[in-house]
Structure 1
Amino acid sequence: MGILDRLFGGRFTMPPPEETNLSASAIMKELRPERSDSGQKKALEAFAWALVAFIPEKEGARLVRRVMRRYAMGDDAPSALTEGFLNDPKGQKLEHLVLLSLDWRGYDVFEYKAPYLVSASGVKVPYACVREGASSMPEVLHNFDHWLARFGKRYLHLDTGGENYDGVIVDADRLGAITELAGRAGINVSLESF
């Protein structure tokens, strides 16, 4: 303020800020956007719990808390899910991989992480990535889905609004219920890539 005072010849004065009696939580509540649909929040939490069903309960609970915290901070449902699971330092651990995110040329990442994803989903047969003439990432993921179908699993693509191919492994017999939960949570899912 001293430089502005000198610049304007002493005419620059500002009244002190008004004090408030609001608590920090009341201030944060005012800053966060109000969500009118509590059903979407419950559906997002149920969807996140359905995705972490294969991993240990303590780790799953930690990931679901992260997703719900992101949602409470104002993220939309797809962003809360991806940020909660994929945030590198505190997100999902490699041995308990739930959500796989790849870019259009992420063949090396897929080759490295797909066996962990398969193992975490409960499939006992190890997965060896073979591109089998697939030239694009959607074709590689389509072949992966066909491989999983032999074990009663499916690879479900999530439309998170970004350019990455995000997906999870789900039980084939629970596919309808999980798709319905995702729809109620505001997340588009499909067996085909977006």
Structure 2
Amino acid sequence: MGLFDRLFGGRFTAPPPEETNVSDAEILRELHPRPSPEQRKALRELVEQLLTFTPEDERQRLIRRVDRRFNKRDGAQEAFSEGLLDSERGQKTQYLALISCDWRGFDCFEYLAPIAVKNCGISEVYTYSHSGVKPMAEVLADFDIWLAQSGRRYLHFDSGGDDYLGAIVDTERVPEIIQLAGVAGLRASFDSF
């Protein structure tokens, strides 16, 4: 401390911070703003579009769940992924619409993809066996090519993490779903993130 006093002329202390009249609640509102009504509406419509083949009561439950999480200052990504993928209260396996696999989750994909294909109305059975050669991004691209033969596409959503998040959607609805995701604050694309 004596060295710094000599170098800087004895003024080694910082000036006191300026006082503000801002409350903690105002600071939190600034850091985590509430979603706009347009964002909430777009996220609700997006979830409804993705859950087209889910029974009405289950669909409404999941839409309310995602909307509640989004309103609690969770970001769009957290509300979307956690609201649908929660193991206890999220989507049920028999109505699977949103698939989440990590970058090495080949066994997870092998189990979930046929269920999602069946749930979206495709009568042909999808089978996958891991060869150990392709990375998950290429496996999902091949899955998208297979779905295109049936008039469906695999649409990726940015989860903000290292997992691959996506859903099977009708080819005609893809532009609408990408636009809804953008308004809601999500990123959607045919390419993995």
**In which range does the TM-score fall when normalised by the shorter chain?**
0.7 to 0.9
Q: Which residue of 2 aligns with 1:160?
A: 159
Structure 1 residues 61 and 185, CA gap change in structure 2 (3 angstroms): same
8 Å Cα contact 1:77/1:186 also seen in 2? yes
Equivalent-residue separation in structure 2 for 1:85 and 1:125 (angstroms): 26
Partner of 1:110: 109
Preserved CA contact (<8 Å) 1:44 1:181: yes
TM-score computed with the length of structure 1 as normaliser: 0.80
Structure 2: which 5+ runs fail to align? 1-24
- Contact between 2:35 and 2:71, CA under 8 Å: does it hold in 1? no
Q: State the partner residue of 1:139.
A: 138
Per-residue displacement from partner, 1:75-94 (whole Å, max 9, x unpaired)? 11111010110110111111
The answer for the alignment partner of 1:93 in structure 2 is 92
Q: Which TM-score applies when normalising by structure 2?
A: 0.81
Provide the secondary structure at the position in 2 that maps to 1:101.
Answer: strand
Partner of 2:176: 177
- Quick one: structure 1 residues 155 and 36, their matched pair in 2 at CA, closer, same or farther if it must change by over 3 Å? closer
Matches within 5 A, 1:45-84: 45-84=44-83
Taking the aligned partners of 1:123 and 1:87, their CA distance within structure 2 comes to 25
Identity of aligned residues (%): 47
Q: How many Å separate the matches in 2 of 1:186 and 1:160?
A: 11
Hey, what's the Cα distance between the residues in 2 that align with 1:134 and 1:98? 27
C-alpha RMSD over aligned residues: 1.9
The offset of 1:37, in angstroms, is 2.0
**Match in the other structure for 1:41:** 40
- The amino acid of 2:154's aligned partner reads Y
CA distance 1:99–1:75, change in 2 (3 Å): same
What CA distance in whole angstroms lies between the structure 2 residues aligned with 1:134 and 1:146?
A: 18
Q: Which amino acid aligns with 2:67?
A: M
Letter in 2 for 1:172: T
Dislocated runs of 4+, deviation >4 Å: 31-34, 131-134
Q: Deviations over 1:126-160 (max 9, x none)?
A: 11114467510001000100000000000000002
The total of aligned residue pairs comes to 166
